[in-house]
Structure 1
Amino acid sequence: MDIKELQNIIQENGVVGAGGAGFPTYMKLTDKANTILMNCAECEPLLKLHRQLLEKHAYEIMKTFHMVQETVGAAEAIIGIKKSYVQTVNALKQHIEEFPGMRIHLLDEVYPMGDEVVLIYEATGRVVRPGGLPIEQGVAVFNVETLYNIYQAVEKKEPVTSKYVSVVAEVNHPVTVRVPLGCTMDDVVAQAGGTTLKDPVYFVGGPMMGRIGKGSDPVTKTTNAILVLPKDHLIVQKKMRTSSIDLKRAASICCQCNTCTDLCPRNNLGHPIDPARFMRAASNHDFRDMNPYINASFCSSCGVCEMYACPQSLAPRTLLADMKGGLRQAGIRPPQGVQPVPVKESREYRKVPEERLMARLGLTKYDKDAPMDETLVEIPKVKILLSQHIGAPAKAIVKVGDQVTRGQMIAEPAQGLSVGIHATISGKVTEVTDRWIVVAKN
């Protein structure tokens, strides 16, 4: 199979990064990649689905990874996985000799190991430049579920219609379930036996980079987890603060300790992001040097500064994110051609142990088994978003009243960067807008 053929299969079947921002996977396939990297680092605390999926389907995923390697002509295929995932590592070792040019790289239990820039350095020693793409270093990164979706598309001709989601924390039975795209967060949480709280908060995604969601929100191709938390939990309280108050707090109590910068993963890799300088400048309305503001573009929003490093519980990540958004709205692009300075020798001593991170965030008691159930949950109605990926939303090709079957394309890729969207249940189309399609069972 050549690259173009595989790209077409992946695009038509709607495969995107199954986590993060949902970058369309077909665009990562290029003969410029001399190394491909599988990300099984479970970047966020409490998330378990990637190690579970890889353990259960090790051969299928490794076979697909090898196929991608041969298609793009990469010399090496590396599986990056934390050494603590013993059962999954053992499953990989059973098949690794069948795939020449593939190796396992064991990773430490630190955060944010799943950040692709950090992972690339750990596995290859290469540093992606600030604002650059992995392919500039000859690397393409795929996460575990994305590769499994490629397997389904190539081997079984099945498009992406479902998502694995871990439901953890204040639920009766923590679990990882497979649900149709477009079902609600409430539908997913119900699969965990309901909540143990009267007025729970749904924290969608990981505790470090996630967001507060509503029970009516639809599951998308990037929904990895739902943390059910009490309203007064530290993580929820931090997320609910306002930026205007955060800025005033920074002006009044920032002690200039520099810990946010000292522990910043991207800064330690030589990137010019400097949370301490930014906080100092922003809180004092100091605009003599614009670099601290412009360099906000290079923040990965991992949250180490805000959720772990700051002894005053300030919000560098949130304020940096506001600055990044303001720069985009003003049409100011990140500086081009910025090269990293050498990786800091102290980096090895400034990694954030995940166990300590969970303890500091009040999550240790929630670190329990969440067994995977691969039975597709039956849902009577779904609201399927047309934009579940970076790029242009897909274009609806069905109308109200149409009967559709699960797996049928209901929105085709738009011009430019886009992928197809498919019916996730069989039934009747009851609503079509430029943002979503609703399908209900008859």
Structure 2
Amino acid sequence: MNLVDMKKALFDGGIVGAGGAGFPTYAKLSDQAETVILNCAECEPLIKVDRQLMTDHVIEVLSGMQMLVEAMGAKEGIIAVKKSYTASIEAINSNIGSYKSLRLHILPDIYPAGDEVVLIYETTKKIVPQGKIPIMVGCVVVNVETVLNTYNKVTSDTNVVSKFVTVAGLVNHPVTVEVPVGITVKDLIDMAGGVSTEEHVLLMGGPMTGRICSQNDIVTKTTKALLVLPPTCPPIEKRQRTIKHNLRNAMSVCSQCSMCTTLCPRNLLGQSIKPHEFMRAIANGITDNVEPYLNSFFCCSCGLCEMYSCHQDLSPRRLLDEYKGRLRAKGVKIPDKQGKGVADSMREERRVPEHRLVNRLGLHSFDIPAPMSGCPKEIQEVKLMLRQNIGAPCVPAVKVGDTVTVGQQVAAPPEGALGTCLHASIAGKVTAVTDNYISVHA
């Protein structure tokens, strides 16, 4: 399949990044790509999806990668897997010889190995210029589930209607399930045997970058995990603090030890982000130097500074995110400035082992298997959110009372806008169409 046809297939199929912000995959593909990198780093602790898909669907994933490499005319495809994913590595080694353009790269068990800038450096030693995208260095990064969806679309014209989600933490039976897009968080909890304690907080996504949610929240194409965590663990406590609280702590406690910058993954790759300088500026009301504020745009929000590096329990990432948001709201753009362009000579010694991070987060007891399973219950209703990825929200193509089948297109982005199509995840009747969602009842 050529590049034009591949892009159309991915747009029509509703394929987006399945593990991050949900960038439409067709828009990533480029004939300027030299290297296609499969991200099987999982990045966040406790999530099991990618390693399990890489083991259970290795032929489909490798075949999908070969298709992408050929469509873009790239020189090679790199299958990047953490060294602790031994079952995945064994499955890849047993089959990769059949794919002439693919090679395996073993990643260290560090956080955040799945950050695409870090991943590109680990696999190619190329440094993405700060504020730029991977294609600037000839790379395209794709997620395991995204590639599986690509294979299914190309080989059997299957649109994205389901999502693989790890449900872990304070549940009776941790599990990774394939579920229809549009079910509720409560449905996920039921599939894991319910919660094991009344005192808990729900986190959509991983412990480092996820968000607190409710049982009524909806599974989208980018949902990768639901964690049920103790209210006293660091990932929950830090999220429940207000910005005012975080700022007051920075003003009264920050000692400028610089550990947040010393261990910052982007700073170690030569980018201008320096959390300690930002903390100094906001804590002391420094306004004669705007660099620390503008450099906040180069923070990737991995959360390592506040969840691991800071020994004073401060929250640089939360304050950086808040400031970035306010700058964008005022129309401030990402500065067009160069970083160092070279990695820090101490980078390898300063990479953070994932097992240490898990212990620091107080999550060691939850880092247990979550076996793969099909959807264990019949779903009677789904709510299909019209905004499930980066880009424009979809425009409904159905009305209340219409009957839809699984995989039928029910919405699409405005013509010419960035986005992908949306499809019914269960068969049934459309019961609601709003500006935000389409409901289908079986």
How far the C-alpha of 1:377 sits from its partner, in A, is 4.4
Deviations along 1:365-406, one digit per CA (max 9) or x if unpaired, are: 001110001347421111100110100111100000111111
Cα offsets for 1:105-134 (capped at 9, x unmatched):
001111000000000000000000111000
> Unmatched 5+ residue regions in structure 1?
none
What is the letter of the counterpart of residue 435 of structure 2? Answer: D
Deviation string for 1:21-55 (max 9, x for gaps)? Answer: 00000011110001000000010011111000110
Displacement after TM superposition at 1:413 (Å)? 2.8
Other-structure match for 2:344: 344
Aligned to 1:301: 301
1:362 corresponding residue in structure 2: 362
Partner of 2:79: 79
Question: Residue 435 of structure 1: CA displacement?
Answer: 1.2
SS in 1 for 2:165: strand
1:8-407 aligned within 5 A: 8-375=8-375, 377-407=377-407
- Determine the structure 1 residue equivalent to 2:425: 424
Contact 1:202 1:229 in 2 (8 A): yes
Cα distance in structure 1, aligned partners of 2:382 and 2:25: 24
For the 8 Å contact 1:179–1:377, the answer to whether it is kept is: no
Deviation per CA, 1:283-342: give whole Å up to 9, x if none: 111011100000100000000100000000000000000010011001000112424342
User: Partner of 1:95: helix, strand, or coil?
Assistant: helix
Instruction: Provide the rounded CA distance (Å) in 2 between the counterparts of 1:216 and 1:76.
Output: 43
* Alpha-carbon distance in structure 1 between the residues aligned to 2:266 and 2:375: 39
Aligned to 1:436: 437
Residue aligned with 2:374, SS: strand
Please list the CA deviations of residues 153-197 of structure 1 after superposition, one character each: whole Å capped at 9, or x if unmatched.
Answer: 111111000100000010001000011111000101110100001
Asked if the contact 1:180–1:376 (Cα under 8 Å) also holds between the matched residues in 2, the reply is: no
Please say if residues 397 and 412 of structure 1, whose CA atoms lie closer than 8 Å, have aligned partners that are also in contact. yes
> Kindly, what percent of the aligned residue pairs are identical?
48
Q: Distance in 2 between matches of 1:337 and 1:265?
A: 18
Q: Judge conservation of contact 2:191–2:376 (CA < 8 Å) in 1.
A: no
| 1:376 to 1:70, Cα distance in 2 relative to 1, 3 A | farther
Amino acid at match of 1:272: S
TM-score, L = length of structure 2: 0.98
- Give structure 1 regions of 4+ aligned residues with deviation exceeding 4 angstroms: none
In structure 2, what is the Cα distance between the partners aligned to 1:189 and 1:152?
Answer: 28
Give the length in aligned residue pairs: 441
In 1, the alpha carbon distance for the partners of 2:317 and 2:237 equals 15
Mapped to 2, the partners of 1:348 and 1:412 lie a distance apart of 45
Runs of 5+ unmatched residues, structure 2 = none
> 2:410 maps to which residue?
410
1:376–1:190 distance in 2 versus 1, CA, 3 Å: closer
CA contact (8 A) 1:178 1:376 kept: no
Q: Distance in 2 between matches of 1:376 and 1:168?
A: 16
**Range 410-419 or range 58-67, more displaced:** 410-419
Aligned to 1:5: 5
SS in 1 for 2:302: coil
Tell me, what secondary structure is at the counterpart of 1:8? Answer: helix
Alpha-carbon distance between aligned partners in 1 of 2:371 and 2:233, rounded to the nearest angstrom = 25
Q: Which amino acid aligns with 2:184?
A: T
CA separation of 1:136 and 1:376: change in aligned 2, threshold 3 A: farther
Contact kept in structure 2, 1:243 and 1:318, CA below 8 Å = yes
